[in-house]
Amino acid sequence: MISIQSLCTPLKTALSGFLLAVAMLLPAQATADELTKSDVETIVREYLIANPDIIADALTELDRRQREAEEAARVQALTESADILFNSSRQAVLGNPNGDITLVEFFDYNCGYCKRAHGDMVRLIEDMPNLRVVLKEFPVLGQGSVEAAQIGIAVNAIAPDRYGEFHENLMLQRGQANRASAMKVATDMGLSEASLAEALATDEAGRTLEEVYTLANRLGLTGTPSYVVGDEVIMGAVGYEQLQAKLKSMDSCGETSC
């Protein structure tokens, strides 16, 4: 049985008030054993109608606890998956590969917010010489996105030094990203279509995407762009200033907020 003392203040107050109301509403001779289900339902309904704020308080507290639990799960997942998150042999790295602060971005080539946020990443790399950017192909917007990601993985496999150029060209390209448009971007850069096809024939693209999907699921990611800085997960295109502030804090005190 849960004791009233173990409950948070809003719920404790609500429960105490409810128990008092039940006592006041009972006939003097009534005992708990004499209450029918209908009696209890009537008392509860009347009390909640008279005190509707109790429901709002309870829902607010439930939401707070759920958010705390989700954040605790993310922190644990970040700790347990740190090596694959920051140092996977399958990931693409831009900026300073030996930089002492890292920004991880999960993206989709068909994500409009990712396209707009691309400029933030470029600007951060330009402004922060010690920034290492890890890019995770996270196609969540359909088959075209999966195909484009597969080409990106192939580019990173055969010409990792050209991946940044490929990434920018495809990210800034108008229209739907898919196998055809991604392959054209790669071949227009001078990369061999035969070499790309050979890379695609392996299971590396599938293994890479499986790795990223598993990681994203553990971190509770539901869309793109999503970022990781230190032990914090950042959802959405939050903009240059917010990302820079967190990265600078990481640089100065090892936390996203000093």
Structure tokens at 80: 């347990």
Structure tokens at 178: 């898919």
Per-range mean pLDDT, top range of 40-54, 77-91, 93-107: 93-107
- Please give the mean pLDDT across all residues of the chain: 86
- State yes or no: pLDDT of 7 exceeds 50: no
Question: pTM (2 decimals)?
Answer: 0.74
* pLDDT tier at 103, thresholds 50, 70, 90: very high
In the chain, what are the domain boundaries? 4-74, 83-253
Structure tokens at 167: 């990434």
Least confident range of 8-12, 92-96, 237-241: 8-12
Check residue 139 and give left, alpha or beta (phi > 0: left; psi -120 to 50: alpha): beta
Q: What percent of the chain has pLDDT over 70?
A: 86
Report the relative pairing of strands 131-137 and 101-107 from DSSP bridges: parallel
- What stretch of H or E contains 215? helix 204-219
Least confident range of 78-92, 149-163, 199-213: 78-92
* pLDDT tier at 33, thresholds 50, 70, 90: low
- State yes or no: pLDDT of 28 exceeds 90: no
- What stretch of H or E contains 200? helix 193-200
CB 209 within 8 A of CB 139: yes
In this predicted model, which residue has the larger pLDDT, 38 or 130? 130
Predicted local confidence at residue 176, as pLDDT: 95
Average pLDDT over residues 43-72: 81
**Alpha helix locations (H) across 26-174?**
37-50, 53-80, 82-87, 112-127, 143-158, 163-171
Predicted local confidence at residue 84, as pLDDT: 92
Predicted local confidence at residue 29, as pLDDT: 43
**Superfamily holding 83-253:** Glutaredoxin (3.40.30.10)
Predicted local confidence at residue 138, as pLDDT: 97
Q: How far is CA 178 from CA 97, 109, 144, 173, in A?
A: 28, 9, 4, 11
Contacting residues for 150 by C-beta, under 8 A, at least 6 apart: 179, 182, 200, 205, 209
